[in-house]
Structure 1
């Protein structure tokens, strides 16, 4: 990176929100375009079982904006980290030098993901340590 910025732009909070939404819509459009292209290639190659020269010639430019359903997708829902597919995760691990991948890891990762879906407790106005999930886990309740 350069030591100095080549340009600076100031935004109001509202302008920043609009700029982020525009950026996210563009990214979403590109993602949907890539998915549509992959689907067309798979269809032409009969799920990858038949080679097809026409499928190899398809590019992102062959997918028009009319083919995309951007309006049917909530933009903000698409910008959270999603779990990697197993094959891709294993490839990344192997590329990082991990020779042996423990099969028990899959169950452990699932348990961790499930535990992160629900956090905190149901306390509203006061904390009852007998029923408070936080207190039972040895964590200071936020209601107290």
Structure 2
């Protein structure tokens, strides 16, 4: 019987293949990253100045809108706080008024009597800014009918 020829055993250790295989994988990964970076850089055109300004205005507008919203919330909270304080003060005033009503009932009001005649005219003239000497001159110059009409 004839035996087919056999190849001699390989003298390659599989552990020695790990280093070149790792270098190959690392090279392929780095080349892919580089290609992706260059294709993105080529496809991105220089930005249009109008578009750039428009985007900046949108971002700024959004920031201002957020600031206004926060300021509105702070103002609303302040108003609610002051309204609550005012309600508390109103309740305290009403309870104090009620205690006063219980302690001292309201006195009957007497009508105010107005001065009659010359005294009334003198009071009005004093309120208008005249002194006593000027009032005497005015009253002595006027006739009786004038005094009554002034009253």
Q: TM (normalized to structure 1)? A: 0.24
User: Larger C-alpha radius of gyration, 1 or 2?
Assistant: 2
Q: TM (normalized to structure 2)? A: 0.23
**Bigger helix fraction:** 2
